[in-house]
Amino acid sequence: MPYFDDDGNELDPNLIPVPGLCLICKKNNDPGEEILCTLTRLDQKEGEEFICHAFEEEENTNGF
């Protein structure tokens, strides 16, 4: 699915920076969440602090 910025320029979702919060979120690699996550990142790509109300922390899988 193509994404566009406010000026109508097409954006490559692979070039949108992935915030650190996403790296510990269990939705990060969920294909069903990909569009919503990309739109959330796009909305905030110029912001200093990334805020996502859909964040769900990845469960700890190392047994601790």
Q: What residues make contact with ligand SF4 under the rule CB under 6 A?
A: 21-22, 25, 27-28, 33, 37, 40-41, 52, 54-55
Beta carbon of residue 8, minimum distance to ligand SF4 (angstroms, whole number)? 23
Beta carbon of residue 6, minimum distance to ligand SF4 (angstroms, whole number)? 19
Residues 6+ apart with CB under 8 A from 22: 28, 37, 41, 50, 52
The residue (of 8 and 49) whose beta carbon lies closer to ligand SF4 is 49
User: Up-side HSE of residue 23: CA atoms within 13 Å toward CB?
Assistant: 4
CA dist 11 and 52 (Å) reads 21
Beta carbon of residue 27, minimum distance to ligand SF4 (angstroms, whole number)? 4
